[in-house]
Structure 1
């Protein structure tokens, strides 16, 4: 049955956590909202808004009211029965973004039952119905009703975020001081008759479950007998022993909405009393009973729902990142009083002094984006003083005016002299008879001489010119004669045709004579 209860509790917790994951809470505390500032803090807020004070006033923040339920157990000299239940209520108020005060009331019922028999109960009045002198065994047990009222200081550990606006969960820890009252009973009698614990013969750790089952079947669950207590020597409240107590707290809270969060917490409480479980005696000699070494303590592991309440207030400060305003103002200034920028330019070159790498540029000199005088050819002389604006690299270094001395080009160091003019000299004329265009033997001898000179003077070319009359027949004969001479020179003497030109010049000379001249 208990297993089913805890399964249902686990399902409920997971459901609430899933709601928290999908909760859309994008609200952020507005630092300029004066409606959440108390009347006491308005003066500071006004100074902040007027930029005469650096810090805004602390806003009113909501109070948290919470309820919880969980497992309550005592750590003492008797083995605890688990699970046993407890519940709690609290009210919490933030004093700052990290520290808060919480008042809490916890009520729990703890039970315990030893599976090992005990014989050292001689000085324990609760077991007076049994005889320790004859080693009659008893099985220590208890049921303790514990109430706890404490004031706690809680420290939030992770709401100050340097790389995120806010968080969906908070880790916290704390310490508390308060008062604990308890009333412990034991189940020593079956009605008015002692139990026959001697009938249980099983022993040993491996049989502990069987022993406890046998005890459960035997005992009536009445818890009719007052356990040993300190009520005669300690303050009391009714039938309860009253003791001061201290506690240590650790927990995590998940934000479900701006007003609701789910907390999982463990609270460990210690008191200066060894009778929370009704037992303080060691298993010692019957004639020499000795008290146990340590005081008892109790633990409350719980799951709770917390609700934020309040009007004209921001959510509890432990849910707010105090760096949110500072980072947003740095990234996107809205309130910051930024002085009007002043950009001096002492040398008047158009580049402000903060960025000027040449603060004393001469007037009229063009500069680059860094305020340095331009030097187009990189010769070290600013353009405004450079008489040779683009000096080739090979002509550098330059003089004070930026003029370089260029070396002679490579092409001019080894000049090839120009070819000499044709020096072939005078060439002979060829004569034809009548209307003949055939080259005679005498003419061939003269043409051989011409060919020899052409071969010796490769740069020379010749022009063969005839002088016909005005008639077409005479001009046609002239063309045949100059063509015959050219053909002889190219075909017989091997002279390139492009070195021999022909021409017929009407009335220029004797019609039967063809002149050969160098071009």
Structure 2
């Protein structure tokens, strides 16, 4: 019977383990980290500090309680050969972290012993000896028993495969357990046959050692003569109640027919996640009972072996609690999800990108990484050259040089051509006053996501600084330059993006539309809109080139 039980147990373990390949393809979501409703009140301060990047550790979330129901075969290992019984259990399990959890469990079990030889009556408890004396007074008896045992235990469980560097949340919970049990119950001996008489003697000798083949022969002979609890003359009623230690309490807690003992638990199990709130598993649990083997109904003196309870159960486990307020039990959540998700798509990570020349363009995107401090640059980090004379603005003493005055000297100053022999022209040149320069020399570019005309939060923040500079320089205007000239769609998208920037500055920042010059469809980076301070005149509004392709998002 014992071998049949363990064959069944191994088969169930193997069946669940065969699903492990599928079990690795699991969720890696960590969205619950950002839901403060799933954090306890005393953990809320830590959660808020984590969201504000004041601490790298989020608070532990509230997680569900697991209710378990188990059924399966049971055995009790004693000096008497065990025979397969049955049992059931009820448990509540709570996670202490992603690996460790604690479980309280109640178990009810029926355990049987099937002896392969008779024992000397002197080894029987006193009340059994009295029963045998009243029914034939044999010198030996069969110590076949039935024990009804209840068990309350508190066990610590360690989940062995929750944390992984190579997959998301587990589908299998493989765990080991250890803990304490308090056990109480009673045993009965089948001392009398169906006719109410003690079984006739069939003694191999109490101290005779036999091997397995001899034991089988003894069992066959006993069955033939109706001595053993199989299908012979045995009535299997287990009519004689045992008392512990010949009726004395000794160092056993309690006395009489109800025996009470302490024990330690150890075992292992595996559970397969069927859904977010339900899993099925198989568990093997052993309980080592202290203080002798009273449940087996045989007393062998100081060398008495302690009883060991074995329970193999199929377990049906349910997660209790609202999914809107609690996450799954933590042993079903891989804590590495947060780390790997942050590495893959940062949502919370502090990122500081190098900018050696301090021009506002990250080194990895800076095409001119050594521009002097304060030099105005474009979106690619290159020094601006407004008039295109080959002298950057930060060196150009004549920032807007007419092309007819080219070439220019090292300071960017051109050579004024000889005017036509016309007094009117000379008078105009004599009275020419260059437009006042604009003090705005450096404005940020606005970046758009591919195909989008919506302003990101970063873009809106940049435009707020542009508005501040315009308010501080009332004589300045700004060229708003969009790129994309390859086709109608690109031209219209360029127009839409320039329109989004101007509309935001006018409606949200209160800048006069007359100070914003509308340029679109230029050659350049299609996802960029550049802003340049100027005193020039230009168009403030331009009709959409292809209204049928116009976008709003």
TM-score by length of 2: 0.55
Aligned length, in residue pairs: 347
Match of residue 318 from structure 2? 307
Q: Which has the larger radius of gyration?
A: 1
Distance 1:184 1:307, change over 3 A: same
Q: Is the 8 A contact 2:110 2:146 kept in 1?
A: yes
**CA distance in structure 1 between the aligned counterparts of 2:7 and 2:267, rounded to whole angstroms:** 25
Q: Is the 8 A contact 1:119 1:138 kept in 2?
A: yes
Superposed displacement of residue 245, structure 1: 1.6
**CA distance in structure 2 between the aligned counterparts of 1:331 and 1:22, rounded to whole angstroms:** 23
Structure 2 residue aligned with 1:334, among 343, 347, 357?
347
Cα deviations across residues 55-97 of structure 1 (Å, max 9, x unaligned)?
Answer: 111111000000011111111111111x210111100000111
**CA distance in structure 2 between the aligned counterparts of 1:314 and 1:93, rounded to whole angstroms:** 12
Q: Is the 8 A contact 2:86 2:109 kept in 1?
A: yes
Q: Is 1:222 aligned to 2:237, yes or no?
A: yes
Distance 1:12 1:133, change over 3 A: closer
Superposed displacement of residue 123, structure 1: 5.7
Distance 1:247 1:6, change over 3 A: closer
Superposed displacement of residue 170, structure 1: 1.7
Superposed displacement of residue 116, structure 1: 1.1
Structure 2 residue aligned with 1:136, among 119, 139, 144?
139
Superposed displacement of residue 18, structure 1: 9.4
TM-score by length of 1: 0.58
**CA distance in structure 1 between the aligned counterparts of 2:160 and 2:3, rounded to whole angstroms:** 34
**CA distance in structure 1 between the aligned counterparts of 2:160 and 2:351, rounded to whole angstroms:** 34
Superposed displacement of residue 166, structure 1: 2.1
Q: Is the 8 A contact 1:97 1:318 kept in 2?
A: yes
**CA distance in structure 2 between the aligned counterparts of 1:3 and 1:119, rounded to whole angstroms:** 28
Superposed displacement of residue 15, structure 1: 9.4
Superposed displacement of residue 17, structure 1: 8.8
Q: Is 1:62 aligned to 2:69, yes or no?
A: no
Distance 1:278 1:15, change over 3 A: closer
Superposed displacement of residue 197, structure 1: 2.2
Unaligned runs of 5+ in 1: 283-289, 360-519
**CA distance in structure 1 between the aligned counterparts of 2:364 and 2:148, rounded to whole angstroms:** 81
Secondary structure in 2 aligned to 1:46?
helix
Distance 1:317 1:122, change over 3 A: closer
Q: Is the 8 A contact 1:59 1:314 kept in 2?
A: yes
Q: Is 1:91 aligned to 2:92, yes or no?
A: yes
Superposed displacement of residue 138, structure 1: 1.4
Q: Identify which range, 311-320 or 232-241, moves more after superposition.
A: 232-241
Distance 1:340 1:321, change over 3 A: same
Cα deviations across residues 187-236 of structure 1 (Å, max 9, x unaligned)?
Answer: 11236833232379999424244245332322211111122414641334
Match of residue 72 from structure 1? 74
Secondary structure in 1 aligned to 2:339?
helix
Superposed displacement of residue 42, structure 1: 1.5
Match of residue 397 from structure 1? none
Q: Is the 8 A contact 1:271 1:297 kept in 2?
A: yes
Match of residue 294 from structure 1? 305
**CA distance in structure 2 between the aligned counterparts of 1:239 and 1:293, rounded to whole angstroms:** 19
Superposed displacement of residue 101, structure 1: 0.9
Superposed displacement of residue 270, structure 1: 0.9
**CA distance in structure 1 between the aligned counterparts of 2:312 and 2:256, rounded to whole angstroms:** 27
* Mapping 1:90-489, distance limit 5 Å: 90-119=91-120, 121=122, 124-125=125-126, 126-130=128-132, 136-190=139-193, 193-198=196-201, 204-211=214-221, 213=223, 214=226, 215=228, 216=230, 217-230=232-245, 232-233=248-249, 234-236=252-254, 239-282=257-300, 290-311=301-322, 312-344=325-357
**CA distance in structure 2 between the aligned counterparts of 1:10 and 1:153, rounded to whole angstroms:** 23
Distance 1:14 1:271, change over 3 A: closer
Superposed displacement of residue 292, structure 1: 3.5
Secondary structure in 2 aligned to 1:248?
strand
**CA distance in structure 2 between the aligned counterparts of 1:39 and 1:351, rounded to whole angstroms:** 41
Secondary structure in 2 aligned to 1:88?
strand
Match of residue 479 from structure 1? none
**CA distance in structure 1 between the aligned counterparts of 2:333 and 2:10, rounded to whole angstroms:** 29
Distance 1:237 1:324, change over 3 A: farther
How big is the alpha-carbon RMSD for the aligned residues of Structure 1 and Structure 2?
A: 4.2
Superposed displacement of residue 345, structure 1: 9.1
**CA distance in structure 2 between the aligned counterparts of 1:75 and 1:351, rounded to whole angstroms:** 73
Cα deviations across residues 471-500 of structure 1 (Å, max 9, x unaligned)?
Answer: xxxxxxxxxxxxxxxxxxxxxxxxxxxxxx
Superposed displacement of residue 137, structure 1: 2.7
Structure 1 residue aligned with 2:43, among 41, 44, 50?
41
Q: Is the 8 A contact 1:229 1:275 kept in 2?
A: no
**CA distance in structure 1 between the aligned counterparts of 2:4 and 2:266, rounded to whole angstroms:** 30
Distance 1:244 1:139, change over 3 A: same
Unaligned runs of 5+ in 2: 371-553
Secondary structure in 1 aligned to 2:276?
coil
Match of residue 516 from structure 1? none
**CA distance in structure 2 between the aligned counterparts of 1:46 and 1:239, rounded to whole angstroms:** 60
Superposed displacement of residue 106, structure 1: 0.8
**CA distance in structure 2 between the aligned counterparts of 1:222 and 1:321, rounded to whole angstroms:** 53
Secondary structure in 1 aligned to 2:349?
coil
